[in-house]
Amino acid sequence: MRETHKTRLLDYLKKYGSITSLEAIRDLGNTRLSATIFTLRKEGHKIISNDIQVPTRWLTTTTIAKYTLV
């Protein structure tokens, strides 16, 4: 089977359970994580998203999405 953003993301979620945009860029080279998640959900995969607070380089916090395979 050919490896794609979808297959790499599913493998990652099965191994680690969850992913953020930064992890997707760093570990998978996927700069459009939400688009890949949208496609996987459309295909029937149960993936939930939770908003989490993370620190920024300016010593503030921001909210990002953390996607989890159910």
Segment 57-70, tens digit of pLDDT: 999 999 999 999 99
* The pTM of the whole model exceeds 0.85: yes
CA distances from 43 to 10, 11, 40 (A): 12, 15, 5
| pLDDT, averaged across the chain | 96
Concatenating the DSSP letter of every residue in 28-50 gives I--S-HHHHHHHHHHTT--EEEE
Cβ burial of 18 (10 Å; 0-12, 13-18, 19+) is middle
Decide if pLDDT at 3 tops 90.
no
